[in-house]
Structure 1
Amino acid sequence: MANHYIYIVRCKDASLYTGYTTDIDARIAKHNEGKGAKYTKVRRPVKLLYQETFETKSEALKREYAIKQLSRKDKLQLIKGALI
């Protein structure tokens, strides 16, 4: 049974990017190689700030969507309250 993750990274320009993956370490490496998302490709390096784990892809994608709807301030509050 694969784990499903949502994550938030901070980009070089201090912007935040939220994404989904089944392999968090590989995904962060891909972002930093410029092979992740189009958004992060020109904003490298990225640093993992936050992650959550889910049993199903559906749950993870719903949470990713919810986080993407948050303001930057709310995302920073989420990160601040979390320990990885």
Structure 2
Amino acid sequence: MRQFYVYILAKHRHGALYVGVTNDLIRRVHEHREGLAPGFTKRYGVKLLVYFEQHATAATAIQREKTMKRWPRAWKIRTIERTNPTWADLYEEICR
């Protein structure tokens, strides 16, 4: 069964945020970290995986991403801090 992910990257604690969606979280975050993904994350150095959630279908993940992108910044920060209060980089955790 395929999994889909909505994720939030940050430049640093309370820094620039990026919300994205993917079907391969490890690959996609690696692309952001290495500057292989052109656009916002490369331009602003947004590389830390601070939040992610799993979805069973592409449709639900895409809808969630769209919803989260419309959220006020404070809501995104609360969402991150609910599960990752120290804003630790979760990339190593997902690579295990």
TM-score when normalising by structure 2: 0.79
The percentage of counterpart residues that share the same residue type is: 31
Instruction: In structure 2, give the amino acid aligned to 1:3.
Output: Q
Q: For residue 6 of structure 1, what is the aligned residue in structure 2?
A: 6
Structure 1: 5+ residue runs without aligned partners? none
Instruction: In structure 2, give the amino acid aligned to 1:8.
Output: I
Q: For residues 53-74 of structure 1, what are the alpha-carbon distances to aligned partners after superposition, in whole Å with 9 as ceiling and x for unaligned?
A: 0000000000001100111111
Distance in 2 (CA, whole Å) between partners of 1:20 and 1:59 is 10
Distance in 1 (CA, whole Å) between partners of 2:44 and 2:27 is 18
Instruction: In structure 2, give the amino acid aligned to 1:32.
Output: R
Structure 2: 5+ residue runs without aligned partners? 85-89, 91-96
CA RMSD of aligned residues (A): 1.8
1:1-84 matched pairs, under 5 angstroms: 1-11=1-11, 14-83=15-84
Distance in 1 (CA, whole Å) between partners of 2:21 and 2:38 is 11
TM-superposed CA distance for 1:37, in Å, is 4.3
TM-superposed CA distance for 1:82, in Å, is 2.0
Q: For residues 7-62 of structure 1, what are the alpha-carbon distances to aligned partners after superposition, in whole Å with 9 as ceiling and x for unaligned?
A: 00002692000000111111111001112241111222510010010000000000
**Aligned pairs, how many?**
84
TM-score when normalising by structure 1: 0.89
Determine if contact 2:16/2:46 at 8 Å carries over to the other structure. no
